[in-house]
Amino acid sequence: MYGYYGMMGLDSTWIIYVLPALLLAAFAQLKVSSAYNKYSRLPSGINLTGAQVARMILDRNGLYDVKIEPVRGQLTDHYDPRTKTVRLSSHIYSGSSIASMSVAAHEVGHAIQHAEGYYPLILRNNIAPIASFGSRFAWILIFLGFIISPFFIDLGIALFIGVVAFQLITLPVEFNASRRALVQLENGFITRERIKPVKEVLSAAALTYVAATLVAVGQLLRLLVLTGRRRD
């Protein structure tokens, strides 16, 4: 019988399906940190903070009811559709760099998606509770499946498919928010020579979502291979 620890250990399936994605994830994190550090020192050229840029873009799109709040941490920026709030980390909120402007505009892109009823965002928000539950309990159920009954393995895999679905849906949502951010910034916020740095910041952030998706897909494929072996 192929045991749980073999399943979780560093066997050939882990090397084939998971390791390449983890290496890409590490590279993506390095790239986004490098871009953030580089362009957080480059002035945007318009002497506006990230919070001010966000407010101006929201207002010119008629989103006067969307709030902007500072949040603790670094790169913890996000849009909360439940409260219609753009939350920006302190350096983004009060900074006036290329990085501050780019990240703030990206999060506002999500607010614009929400206001327009952008379907992938709606779908992602609906799947989010399932994905959160699945990421916490899928592996526990799979462990129980190896001890008690294969039924729990199937249930755990079903939950993990929800996690993968969430990651896949996140990709178009994030890429679309970045495109919206670039369009908004090109309309009166950045000069031609600032377009490339803005794109670098947005592209580096997008790569982290690609890597996270590949990690989730790799883990799912590994699960299917290993559970298939067990049934054989």
Q: Is residue 85 within a helix (H) or strand (E), and if so which, with residue range? A: strand 85-89
Q: Which residues are catalytic?
A: 107
What backbone torsions phi and psi does residue 97 show, to the nearest 5 degrees? -95, 175
Is 24 strand, coil or helix? helix
Return the structure tokens found at 18: 């998971």
Is 71 strand, coil or helix? strand
Is 78 strand, coil or helix? strand
Bridge pairing between strands 67-71 and 78-80: unpaired
